[in-house]
Amino acid sequence: MSVIETTLLSRPPAIHSFASTWLSPAREENFALPTVSNFHGYLQVAWGPSGIQNWVVPPSGYPTPTGILYRLDGTVPTRVEPEGTRYRWFPWKVERSHPVVDTTTIFHASDSAVTEQLTFRESGRFGLVFGGLARTWSFTDYWNLPPEDVPQLNISWDGEAVLVSDTKTFGVARVFPHVAPSAVRAYRRMDSFLSGSPADKRGRFVVLEFEVADGDEVSWTAVQGAASTVTPRTIPSSGQSQWSEVWDAAFTANNAHFSGHLPALDFGDERLNRLYYMSVLSCLMSRRLAPELSDRSRFATGGQAIWSGEIQALSRAYTWGGSEGAPTTSFLWEVQLQAALLARLDPDILRTQLEGFFRADMGAHWGIDVLTGRGVGMRYGVNDGAIITACADYLRITKDVAWLDSLVGANTVREHLLRHLGQFEKLAAGQSLSDFGHSENILECVSTYEHRIASFNAMAAWCYRFAAANLDPERAPEYLHRAEKIETAVHDLLHPDGYFMCDTPTGRRPVRTCLDFIYVGRFMADYLSDHDKSAMLQFFTRELETADWMRALSLHDGDAFTTKLPYFQTYRADHQACGSYDGWPGWSAQVRLRFGDTQATLEWLRRISETTWEGPFGQAHWTGITEAEGQQAATKSSFFNGNCYLEACGVTLATTLLEEIAGL
């Protein structure tokens, strides 16, 4: 049953209509630098009027800011001031406007190439500075991008392009200027460049010099990879055409790009329409077509990117996000949020990814690397419930119950799921509630939220009920009894003011996190009384809801802006009190709607839609550290706060609009 009347459209609005507004940031640390995708990799623009960074097209990556613009007609070279730059995001390009130069950065369709076009507003002598390292890299150990750990004089001019090489891997990049520079100079050190010292044949960076008049255009195209040569480009292949084709396909039955499709909907409200489509678009930004690994891309000295042994790559997959960290990985917790939408849009790929998690052993990892199929990182407490509920969403929407008895390795899907179910009892160790471990295995940056928590235990109770009905009906009485015990124990953690306690070896402590509101509300709603729901709703609207977003942790929580963790974790907007992970508003709205808070929730969703004028959803939005700041507009959180520009978790808003509002 729908909450508001919706209309099914024959096609979605045009992709270009979802561009951001012009953004005018004042401070680098407060701005999420725009990032684009071409389904093969990510590209982020650098701070200022020119240049790129975090350009990752597997199997190689080039994280260093490069292509930075300097003035050369003074006594010493000076960087063109980044301040005063305005930015506008499209899925395939970023436009920048500055008093000195206007720039368009375009990600080509279907390969690694990027073109940057600079149109000057004044005459003079300028230099484009290219430095850094292009390296093949495996993202199986840590979140962040390839380090530059070996001193190298790796950059030179090869006669037609800036050549960026690597002594540890076969990674290489070439930058081709479209018009011949007036001079090309390589420098070993920045001070040599700034002081006018003689140039070298090789260095840590190369400067391409240009004499320009007002209105002149200077442009370059760069390519990267693990091949011994990469070919020059002059004309960008059409990223817009590629995106338009894929975008329309996502809403078309029997299309060439996806194994399913989504409905194109009109909610009768432009703000809800934009919210729905931007949420879907954010998911598509994580879509990856992975390459086969060549011998050169597998090889590295020092053991950094050696992909030996068996590889079970996922040629198509949905990664967790990027571009600042681990852009070839699929995070299980993220897939839990993606599953209900992917089961409609691309069920075959979702099923393949879920099978990949079974193979990689989620008892030891948080996700998988899609290039190799190998496990990544450490275990998270959410894992067992996440994979059961993600599979449940796949089964609920596709009705593919035969999948339960298909083999993945030596076991059926049903057996894998029952093994994950059994982990809850092991973690409970004879008690009603499971112990999900220390804070670093749960939310990381909330140091008090650990052990026997309400959220994942509520999910465990739901998983037992799911197993009783779908996985092993013969043991249904046992599973239902276990679910009832957990639900009673979770309810016992509910504080009269609507938040929950967590039960630790040193006693109970209150934690005012949204995670309990979301997971208890989603997985135990039938158990809760109207009084319980009212208390939880009042807590959410009183302490977590902001003007157009929410806080993941209440400002009144004892661990808000904890001093027990490094600064980077203290002000992480995804789970701390200064903002929220972009997956939480969608699921919070789902709970509010299920609790009957319909009109207030619809109005909140309309306000949330305003945040999409900054660009797609990412890892988190920043709401500030005071109550007053929470009444101002939320902004995309930057990597200075540990949050990546792109992340697929915002897909929960589309799912909520589909299922709870449109009733589909």
74-126 confidence digits (pLDDT tens): 889 999 999 999 999 999 999 999 999 999 999 999 889 999 999 999 999 99
Q: Are 125 and 228 in a shared domain?
A: yes
Interatomic CA distance for residues 260 and 280, integer angstroms: 14
Q: Which of the two residues, 141 and 595, has the higher pLDDT score? A: 595
> Which letter, b or e, does each residue of 310-325 get, where b requires 16 or more Cβ atoms within 10 Å of its Cβ?
eeebbebbbbbbbbbb
Within a domain: 263? no
Residues 6+ apart with CB under 8 A from 76: 194, 195, 196
Q: Are 43 and 189 in a shared domain?
A: yes
Interatomic CA distance for residues 242 and 469, integer angstroms: 44
From the number of C-beta atoms within 10 Å of its C-beta (0-12, 13-18, 19+), residue 266 rates as middle
Contact present, 328 and 139 (Cβ < 8 Å) = yes
Single pTM value for the model:
0.96
Could you give the angle at which helices 454-466 and 514-523 cross, rounded to 10 degrees? 20
For residue 21, the one-letter residue type is T
Q: Are 195 and 314 in a shared domain?
A: no
Length of the chain: 664
Residue 493: band (very low, low, confident or very high) from pLDDT cuts 50, 70, 90: very high
What token pair was written down for 264?
């194109």
Q: Are 224 and 347 in a shared domain?
A: no
Interatomic CA distance for residues 8 and 384, integer angstroms: 37
596-653 pLDDT per residue, tens: 999 999 999 999 999 999 999 999 999 999 999 989 999 999 999 889 999 999 999 9
pLDDT at 234: 64
Q: What's the average model confidence in pLDDT over 133-153?
A: 76
pLDDT at 169: 86
Secondary element (H or E) of residue 105: strand 101-107
Write the CATH number for 155: 2.70.98.10
The answer to whether residue 420 scores a pLDDT higher than 60 is yes
Within a domain: 528? no
Q: How many domains does the chain fold into?
A: 2
The answer to whether residue 180 scores a pLDDT higher than 90 is yes
Final residue of a structural domain among 413, 428, 443? 428
Q: Are 182 and 48 in a shared domain?
A: yes
Secondary element (H or E) of residue 628: helix 627-630
Instruction: Kindly report the three-state secondary structure assignment for every residue of 487-528.
Output: HHHHHCCECCCCCEEEEECCEEEEECEHHHHHHHHHHCCCCC
Final residue of a structural domain among 241, 266, 290? 241
Residue 265: band (very low, low, confident or very high) from pLDDT cuts 50, 70, 90: very high
Mean pLDDT of the chain: 94
User: Which residue range forms the structural domain that includes residue 85?
Assistant: 32-241
62-76 pLDDT per residue, tens: 999 999 999 999 889
Interatomic CA distance for residues 500 and 255, integer angstroms: 46
Residue 566: band (very low, low, confident or very high) from pLDDT cuts 50, 70, 90: confident
Interatomic CA distance for residues 481 and 475, integer angstroms: 10
Residue 238: band (very low, low, confident or very high) from pLDDT cuts 50, 70, 90: confident
Interatomic CA distance for residues 184 and 206, integer angstroms: 7
The answer to whether residue 233 scores a pLDDT higher than 70 is no
Within a domain: 45? yes
For the CA atoms of 195, 197, 203, 206, the dihedral, rounded to the nearest 10 degrees, stands at 70
Residue 141: band (very low, low, confident or very high) from pLDDT cuts 50, 70, 90: low
Within a domain: 618? no
Q: What's the average model confidence in pLDDT over 343-352?
A: 99
Within a domain: 507? no
Interatomic CA distance for residues 151 and 138, integer angstroms: 20
Q: Are 213 and 338 in a shared domain?
A: no
Final residue of a structural domain among 402, 428, 454? 428
What token pair was written down for 232?
């020059």
Other C-beta atoms closer than 10 Å to the C-beta of 359 total 15
Q: What's the average model confidence in pLDDT over 362-388?
A: 94
Q: Are 209 and 345 in a shared domain?
A: no
Interatomic CA distance for residues 91 and 246, integer angstroms: 12
pLDDT at 143: 67
Q: Are 325 and 229 in a shared domain?
A: no
